[in-house]
Amino acid sequence: GRCLAHFARPTSGRIVMNGQDVSRLSRAAWRDWCKRIQMVFQDPYSSLDPRMTIGELVGEGLRMLVDMPAADKRRRVDEVLAEVGLGSEYAKRFPHELSGGQRQRVAIARAVVRRPSFVIADEPVS
């Protein structure tokens, strides 16, 4: 997973996804690739900014979508929170107000909010 997300370089072999060797992408191709993948980290405690609300954290990935109206962004955040088993009332809460399992669900919501083609789970069985 870390090699696929380019957090580490493979020491040997190739990483082929959809017929494309993603371990040897150019910078431009890498930027395009990044738009289609997301990663969920094992430790939700260190990956969530404690100064941001859950709604802000989940909606962060939508910020750069300038052609998406703010109301649509809020709706998408609420939709994704519901998909991971958290209601829209969680959008106003902060990470320290959530259990570890709820924080992990927030991390998953952050990863899927932009509807990526591929989600990488760091330690998926934890």
Residue 18's closest CA among 39, 6, 2, 4? 4
What pLDDT is recorded for position 51? 96
Q: What is the pTM of this model?
A: 0.82
CATH number, span 16-121: 3.40.50.300
What is the spatial distance between Cα 30 and Cα 5, in angstroms, rounded to a whole number? 10
Q: Which of the two residues, 118 and 9, has the higher pLDDT score?
A: 118
For the chain, give every domain's residue range: 16-121
pLDDT in tens, 39-80: 888 787 788 999 999 999 999 988 877 788 989 999 999 999
Q: Is 15 exposed, middle or buried (0-12, 13-18, 19+ CB in 10 A)?
A: middle
